Structure 1
Amino acid sequence: MTAPIRVATADDWAQIWPFFQSTVAAGGTYAYPDDLTSAEAAALWLETPPGITIVYDDGVVLGSAKMGPNRPARGSHIGTASFMVAPEARGRGVGRALAEWMIDWHRREGYRGIQFNAVVETNTHALQLWRDLGFRSVGVVPGAFRSATHGYVGLHVMFLDLTEAGDPAEGDHGGG
């Protein structure tokens, strides 16, 4: 069965905002300001072309991801993405489904790789998911994130090479 993933619309923001707000407030994964208004957060999350924002909509929006070029111009051949899943949907495969869709989208759009600039080292579930999907850590910036519960922790820079042949999940791409 295909995951219920579709391109987000502005009307979806009312369902994304509560889990966006709670994720940022938890202080463990994103460096967004705690005092963002809903409108400010929507402007950050709802991508415009060449980027795209998607939702996992199973009758209710359970997760969202945004993706597009990591950098403009001479860096636009490498993509990036960000993900948020509603607390009640965590551990149910929503993040993995969004991630697989995101990788396929980057391939279809002709990107040569996907770079995550800041995966918090204490976010072990995300690190494991990215490694399972073929990403490797190309470095850790020590103390670059101030976690609400762990203090200063490192940020992994992770990369998936989309020019490699075969399914990246099948090979041993290291990580860490």
Structure 2
Amino acid sequence: MTDETPQTPTEQPPQVKMQILGQFIRDLSFENYLVRKGVTGDVTPDVQVQVALDAKKRQADHQFEIITKFTVRSDNKTDKAPLFLMELEYGGIFHVENVPDEQLHPFLLIECPRMLFPFVRRIVSDVTRDGGFPPLNLEMVDFMALYRQEIARRAQEKPTETVN
């Protein structure tokens, strides 16, 4: 018999830990143009949704603040009259560990907003319903595609450096 210790399989990287420590509405506005100005004739809503994301490190170790910014605008298809405008900034405080540095930025701007989205969807639905419109159920947002678009946009903005 040999006195060798059994070899352990290759070590697995530590498992990613993510926890939502808190959620909050940072800003919310709802402008109901239909009530203020009145729209005559048929109302056929055309809804546009814009999404922006922001992430920043907090002072505590492994904590990050993620803000999702939704702008929801509805115009009447027939005469382009505005029906409503909703702006919502919804945030979350996340505790994130064991994510490699090169993967942290996409993780914060893809996975964290995915966790917040059901709450955003509910707020948008409730506010539009309470504003006198049918509840608006937002379509799922592809945060990965949104992240890739932003990276591509930033790459195009960078001036091309020339070597002399």
Normalised to the residue count of structure 1, the TM-score between the two structures is: 0.29
* Higher-Rg member (1/2): 2
Of structures 1 and 2, the one with the larger relative CO (CA 8 A, separation 6+) is 2
Q: TM-score, normalised by structure 2?
A: 0.31
